[in-house]
Structure 1
């Protein structure tokens, strides 16, 4: 199984401290900072294939080849990171659809970003990568995780491992199941994808 991990924060300043707390949640990730986007919104699928920015083309290929996604976000105003939603909105749902996703949120406070996670379910369902039922929320992430992403307290390692494991087991199970089904029947051949023209939507 091939999983693509998105870290949805570009904040690199203090306060709050520490900056880029999300790096403790995911050290190896597809980071929104790696994909500087034009100030005027222009989705990937609106470019001619040969003229799309190299970074967007490379990410589109990774999204298409992935079997599932891990979406990592802080909480801004009880919602998901605008950096993450902006990045994901550059791609059509046809690249994400028929694959599962897992939601991971974190915060420096006590709620672990769970209010953002609720809204992420709706957002991800519209991309077609339905989230698995188990989610991961990490409150006070700066205390729970060290800078290299390890669990800070040895006594807590097993509990956190089990907590993470439940979500990632579900993600792996669904990714295996959807890949097997996509190998049997290509869903994009059964229903046309919306690309550029509104007439391609299902509504009459």
Structure 2
């Protein structure tokens, strides 16, 4: 049985380098046989958060919110690909994520961070860990951190240089850890309904 994984990416910048990393993650998970979809915040283009999905009367949420809520509820796990902006998280990805709450519950999440510098988005990854945990996800301990992003992946998404080699080396364990938690969560949800 395939695992349904959503990969979230949140940059709204014109010359997005991190999209290469998001597409790399999608492609590598698909190679493993998983059912993977990229959710690009810029493409969905939700407004700044005014009202969460759950705050709309049933059947009255905007179509983009309704469709995304259904995808999140149907997923077995999540990967958040996040750049680091001034020691913090990308506002586009945070805005998309904050539109939902209960839809995230009881599934594992993994963090892939990147930056233009040598710290590879580690500070954003750390910030996301607490945020995703607060939103009801089990955040796995394995992470992937890529930097400098411009030297790690070519325009075609191929790993290049030392940063690309490190990514290729780290990804299999990261994916294995995520899938262990995905399968554990699926088994538990089949055995016993979540308490709320």
TM-score by length of 2: 0.86
CA RMSD of aligned residues (A): 1.7
**Residue 38 of structure 1: how far off its partner (Å):** 2.9
Q: Deviations over 1:96-142 (max 9, x none)?
A: 11111110010111111001111111000011112111111001111
**Residue 68 of structure 1: how far off its partner (Å):** 0.4
- Separation of aligned partners in 1, 2:153 and 2:129: 25
Q: Which residue of 1 aligns with 2:155?
A: 147
Q: Which residue of 1 aligns with 2:21?
A: 25
Asked if 1 retains the 8 angstrom alpha-carbon contact of 2:121 and 2:147, the reply is yes
* 1:171 to 2:178 alignment: yes
Q: Deviations over 1:46-88 (max 9, x none)?
A: 1123221111111101100000000011001211111111111
Segments of 5+ residues of structure 1 without an aligned counterpart are 13-18, 192-204
Q: Which residue of 2 aligns with 1:48?
A: 57
What SS does the corresponding residue of 1:136 show, helix, strand or coil? strand
* 1:90 to 2:99 alignment: yes
Q: Which residue of 2 aligns with 1:202?
A: none
Largest Rg, 1 or 2: 1
TM-score by length of 1: 0.83
**Residue 162 of structure 1: how far off its partner (Å):** 2.6
- Separation of aligned partners in 1, 2:8 and 2:80: 5
Q: Which residue of 2 aligns with 1:15?
A: none
Q: Which residue of 2 aligns with 1:184?
A: 191
- Separation of aligned partners in 1, 2:100 and 2:181: 22
* 1:103 to 2:111 alignment: yes
- Separation of aligned partners in 1, 2:47 and 2:136: 25
Asked if 1 retains the 8 angstrom alpha-carbon contact of 2:147 and 2:163, the reply is no
Higher strand share: 2
How many aligned residue pairs are there?
181
Q: Which residue of 1 aligns with 2:169?
A: 162
**Residue 161 of structure 1: how far off its partner (Å):** 2.4
What SS does the corresponding residue of 2:175 show, helix, strand or coil? helix
Segments of 5+ residues of structure 2 without an aligned counterpart are 27-37
Q: Which residue of 2 aligns with 1:113?
A: 121
1:138 pairs with one of 130, 139, 146: 146
**Residue 164 of structure 1: how far off its partner (Å):** 0.9
What SS does the corresponding residue of 2:6 show, helix, strand or coil? strand
What SS does the corresponding residue of 2:110 show, helix, strand or coil? strand
- Separation of aligned partners in 2, 1:111 and 1:156: 12
